[in-house]
């Protein structure tokens, strides 16, 4: 027997008697830590019987491969995904969302799977749509990028733990991130469909509003937009565009972004009669730098080999696309309207939104991938 002392929300305490052997649980957790099966935080012990509860949630076979990294010669099976979901603290009923996230990641648009080892410190980021959000208690409103909700925290963490344990992507080893991002612990949100003035993200991919869908992105950072000062949509769009076009963010010829709008900001646009495409157009049109501004920071040309930005006088330099266009002195930062994705999430209590920087090299119609959540 072990007496457990429990701290309650009102700061009172109570003592309960349990048959749990806390010492044994601690030994298991320390063993997992010694084996480097964690992300630095404690993980849940996993038994075969508990693992079976996860596998029962999907029609996929345990040995089905969800994701491969060929240059590492390693695969992620459904069983391995389930083990890491359990380690992360997921409930079994979250597992279909985890599987769908991996199916979406397997379609990720970046042309090289080595992106997961990037010095840039990229992280997987998932957006969940559909009724499944309510069924599993996924947070779509206040504090979406913060703590407090098991589904958000553990679904995103399940992805990271699998990258560590199935593919060996540990810091100072195969993970070569120079500084990385807190999103490497976990990054999973739900769209606040109920307070959005527009159709949700997944319907833009052809899904029905009632479908459960996970959209996957590869991201670099999440940038805060404080814009409580205006109800003018043109001004608000310029705030977003200015965040995207900052020179420190410019790595490749073009940038991609996911705008995570709070309902208040979405309503500023929609109340003025703007559609999502109107927002995309305004951001795209204003995400421009002059040639002189790029030259001042040494980013006025491209590498012949990597297409990354560098100075025009560099031996490997080649002109960017704008140099041979009709307006060579003004450089568009985005390739087209498809480079701007929009989702509504967060509380409806302030003009605070975010720009999520999406990592990508090649121009694409949409810098994201997606998968429908399958019923078990």
**Secondary structure of 319-334 in the HEC alphabet?**
CCHHHHCCCCCEEECC
Q: What is the pLDDT of residue 363?
A: 46
Q: What is the pLDDT of residue 6?
A: 46
**pLDDT tens digits along 54-109:** 999 999 999 999 999 988 999 999 999 999 999 999 999 999 999 999 999 998 76
Average pLDDT over the chain reads 91
Nearest to 23 by CA among 50, 48, 46, 2: 2
Q: What is the pLDDT of residue 22?
A: 86
- Where in the chain are the domains? 20-287+333-372
Which tops the pLDDT comparison, 376 or 253?
Answer: 253
Global pTM reads 0.91
- Which percentage of the chain shows pLDDT scores above 70? 91
CA–CA gap between residue 16 and residue 238 (Å, rounded): 57
Q: What is the pLDDT of residue 291?
A: 95
**pLDDT tens digits along 263-314:** 999 999 999 999 999 999 999 999 999 999 999 999 999 999 988 999 999 9
32 exposure class (CB count in 10 Å sphere: 0-12, 13-18, 19+): middle
| pLDDT reading at 5 higher than 80 | no
**pLDDT tens digits along 309-340:** 999 999 999 999 988 778 889 999 999 999 99
């Amino acid at each position: 027997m072990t007496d457990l002392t429990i701290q309650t929300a009102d700061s009172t305490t109570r003592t309960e008697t349990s048959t749990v052997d806390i010492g044994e649980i601690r030994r298991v957790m320390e063993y997992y830590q010694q084996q480097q099966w964690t992300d630095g935080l404690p993980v849940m012990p996993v038994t075969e019987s508990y693992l079976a509860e996860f596998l029962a949630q999907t029609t996929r076979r345990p040995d089905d491969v969800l994701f491969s990294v060929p240059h590492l010669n390693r695969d992620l099976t459904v069983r391995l995904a389930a083990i890491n979901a359990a380690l992360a603290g997921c409930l079994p009923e979250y597992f279909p969302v985890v599987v769908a996230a991996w199916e979406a990641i397997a379609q990720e648009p970046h042309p090289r799977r080595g992106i997961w080892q990037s010095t840039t410190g990229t992280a997987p980021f998932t957006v969940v749509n559909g009724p499944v959000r309510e069924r599993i208690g996924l947070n779509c409103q206040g504090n979406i990028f913060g703590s407090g909700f098991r589904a958000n925290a553990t679904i995103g963490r399940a992805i990271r733990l699998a990258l560590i344990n199935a593919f060996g992507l540990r810091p100072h080893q195969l993970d070569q991130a120079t500084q990385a991002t807190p999103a490497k612990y976990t990054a999973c949100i739900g769209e606040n469909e109920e307070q959005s003035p527009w159709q949700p993200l997944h319907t833009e991919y052809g899904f029905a509003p009632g479908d459960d869908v996970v959209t996957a992105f590869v991201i670099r950072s999440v940038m805060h937009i404080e814009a409580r000062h205006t109800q003018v949509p043109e001004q608000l769009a310029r705030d977003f565009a200015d965040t995207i076009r900052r020179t420190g963010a410019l790595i490749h010829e073009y940038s991609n972004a996911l705008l995570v709008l709070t309902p208040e900001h979405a309503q500023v646009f929609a109340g003025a009669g703007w559609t999502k495409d109107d927002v995309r157009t305004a951001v795209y049109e204003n995400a421009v730098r002059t040639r002189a501004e790029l030259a001042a920071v040494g980013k006025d040309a491209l590498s012949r080999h990597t297409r990354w930005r560098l100075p025009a006088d560099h031996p490997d330099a080649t002109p960017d696309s704008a140099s041979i266009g009709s307006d060579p002195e003004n450089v568009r930062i985005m390739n087209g309207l498809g480079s701007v994705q929009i989702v509504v999430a967060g509380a409806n209590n302030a003009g605070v939104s975010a720009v999520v920087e999406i990592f990508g090299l090649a121009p694409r119609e949409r810098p994201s991938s997606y998968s429908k959540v399958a019923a078990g």
